[in-house]
Amino acid sequence: MGDSRSAGSRAIRRERERRRREPVERAHDKPDRPMPAEGAIGARERRIAARTCAWCGGSITPGSRGPIPKWCSAACRHRAWEQTRAAASGRAAIQVVERQVEVRVPAVPTHRDWAKLFDELTRQLDDGRVYDRDLAELAEALGRVLDAYNRRPYVRDRRARGRQPFVR
């Protein structure tokens, strides 16, 4: 016989497990056995009924003797214990981890940035990257910008000299 990792030993273990399950399954399927009264289920029937893990829902193979298992593995049993312990202490069953997340907020454009931003807006309008549904709102905003620009004293002085830079 090979080591515990060989295919032959795994096949032997699978066959042994299949044979061990057979008597339990056959006893469950016997039609001539009388059904117990409601609420009076025997140990054998409880053993047959306990086939799913209480934590993960996986299958359980109950033994012929000993306590009836509730979990399919020690890991599921430990997780259920942790959950029960957390619930009993009034704490949540999860651990909340607080951390600081840096969110980059775009800086307010300075006086040097506006020309570049208007150039970028012009390129996006020419490329069709601004939707038609947004053009009315954009026109209103640009009108407000132009009004604010025309209210500046420097711009009013240029108009008085005969040069009108922007007219709406």
Give the model's confidence band at 53: pLDDT under 50 very low, under 70 low, under 90 confident, else very high: confident
Q: In whole angstroms, give the CA distance from residue 3 to residue 135.
A: 75
Q: pLDDT over 70 for what percent of the chain?
A: 67
**Would you kindly state where each structural domain of the chain is located, as residue ranges?**
113-160
pTM for the full model?
Answer: 0.34
- With a cut of 50, say whether residue 140 has pLDDT above it: yes
In the chain, the amino acid numbered 81 is W
pLDDT for position 84: 82
The mean pLDDT of the chain is: 77
Answer yes or no: are the C-beta atoms of 141 and 135 closer than 8 Å. no
pLDDT for position 134: 93
Gyration radius of the chain over CA positions: 39
Give the model's confidence band at 120: pLDDT under 50 very low, under 70 low, under 90 confident, else very high: very high
- The distance in angstroms from the start CA to the end CA of the chain is 95
> What are the structure tokens assigned to 45, written together?
């029937």
Give the model's confidence band at 168: pLDDT under 50 very low, under 70 low, under 90 confident, else very high: low
- With a cut of 60, say whether residue 51 has pLDDT above it: yes
- With a cut of 90, say whether residue 136 has pLDDT above it: yes
Q: In whole angstroms, give the CA distance from residue 91 to residue 83.
A: 10
Determine which of 7-11, 58-62, 97-101, 109-113 has the lowest per-residue pLDDT on average.
97-101
> What are the structure tokens assigned to 68, written together?
């009836």
Answer yes or no: are the C-beta atoms of 137 and 115 closer than 8 Å. no
- With a cut of 70, say whether residue 159 has pLDDT above it: no
